[in-house]
Structure 1
Amino acid sequence: MNEPYTDIQVFGFHGCKKEVKDSLLSHQIHFEGSKNPWDWLGDGIYFWENDFQRALNWAANYHKEEGAVIGAKIKLATCFDLANSVSRQFLPIAYEDMVSLYAVEGLQLPTNINPKNHAGNTDDLVLRFLDRAVMHHLFNTLLPQAQPDVKYGTVRAPFQEGNELYPGSRFFEHDHIQICVRDLACITELFDPEN
């Protein structure tokens, strides 16, 4: 499924607290993957691809005056790229398989929602509980069966978010490409984009 052109290097930007950024740059700590139940691309370290400003805005909003951004060179390596039709075709299969399993277990499917205080576009559904469950099922059940020798180091996907840029537009104020790094070896360099 991996296309050869995905084995490229890109720049990613990660919003965090200033003390975390400084500790990462000085190698006092290492990245730890996020495992939040709304992390839509699954477990890993999340970056905005080539979008320092979006990472800075997020960090300032989330961490206020302590917000900062760390930059990374990321080798996509074996990338599950949801901007690619070949990768996207696996999601409905994973979803249907998950629906069947949930039905057998008598479980209710998770849903994508907005947080209670969400001030943006009501269509954003930024808490991606369903998408995370589908990706988790895909990476932990279906792909290991279908491709036992393939290890995906990164997941990449476009994300529409925010209000339309002008009436009738399908461009939105916070559109971006997000990268989830599943394998730390894919981060080849860290740097300070604010200096």
Structure 2
Amino acid sequence: MYSSKPAIVYGFHGLDKDVAIKILNQKSEFKHSNNKYDWLGNGVYFWENNLERAHQYAVQDSQRDNSNVKSPFVLGAVIELGNCLDLLDQKYNDFLKVAYEQLKNDLVAEGKLLPENKPFGTKDFDFKARELDCAVIRYACALAKEQGEPFDSVRAAFIEGNPLYEGARFFSENHIQLAIINPDCIKGIFLPRKSTQQIEFAEEKPSAKG
């Protein structure tokens, strides 16, 4: 009875400027990520209420080899999480343990190995390839769908970065991440306003004909 999360949250998505403008003009849509190493399984990824971290990620992504991000940019979205696999909720943590055990048993029966979480890339800012976590979340989503209660989104907190000060257990890149499975959860898209956050969004110059 407490599964649905009707409250609205703000999500921020780092991407290339040209792609962002197409999305704003309704000529394109957010990319649904389906990599086997995605941290929260399949979905459109957002940083929950974290404009600065989305911008940092876009800049970092632009520095990767063969990155599609040429001009780092950020779009905001108004999101309703719906039926959310929320890993800040004990019930869903327990459910994920069950999903892991069932996945492991299935793979053993098929003579296959469990995927592993492992390092990804060589640069300091490259994230880890979480193939195990991704596989377990995908399996949990499949179980929920079989039971007639498919998840609309996945939500989790991640501890990242360096200690904020000596002896601290708070870290510089802590964040909550969202993976939106059901695109209907995205109620609106917006361009974040300029502010003291020092994120420079290049403005479109009027054409000579305009």
Deviation at 1:31, TM superposition (A): 1.9
TM (norm. structure 1) is: 0.89
Cα pair distance change 1:21/1:194, threshold 3 Å: farther
Cα pair distance change 1:70/1:125, threshold 3 Å: closer
Is the 8 Å Cα contact of residues 115 and 135 (structure 2) preserved in structure 1? yes
- Residue by residue over 1:12-43, the C-alpha shift from the partner in whole angstroms, topping out at 9 and shown as x without a partner, is 00010001100000001112310011112111
TM (norm. structure 2) is: 0.83
Which stretches in structure 2 are left out of the alignment for 5+ residues?
A: 64-69, 195-210
- Residue by residue over 1:97-126, the C-alpha shift from the partner in whole angstroms, topping out at 9 and shown as x without a partner, is 111111111211111112231426xxx962
Q: Does residue 104 of the first structure (1) align with residue 103 of the second (2)?
A: no
- 1:144 corresponding residue in structure 2: 145
Which stretches in structure 1 are left out of the alignment for 5+ residues?
A: none
Q: Does residue 129 of the first structure (1) align with residue 131 of the second (2)?
A: yes
- 1:40 corresponding residue in structure 2: 39
Deviation at 1:48, TM superposition (A): 0.1
Cα pair distance change 1:13/1:125, threshold 3 Å: closer
Q: How does 1:45-60 map to 2 (within 5 A)?
A: 45-60=44-59
Is the 8 Å Cα contact of residues 158 and 177 (structure 1) preserved in structure 2? yes
Cα pair distance change 1:51/1:80, threshold 3 Å: same
Partners in 2 of 1:2 and 1:129 — Cα distance?
30
Partners in 1 of 2:2 and 2:14 — Cα distance?
28
Greater share of helix: 1
Return the index of the structure with the highest Cα Rg: 2
Which of residues 58, 64, 70 in structure 1 aligns to 2:75?
70
How big is the alpha-carbon RMSD for the aligned residues of Structure 1 and Structure 2? 1.8
Shift >2 Å, 4+ stretches = 1-4, 166-170
Deviation at 1:167, TM superposition (A): 3.1
Letter in 2 for 1:174: E
Is the 8 Å Cα contact of residues 144 and 150 (structure 2) preserved in structure 1? no
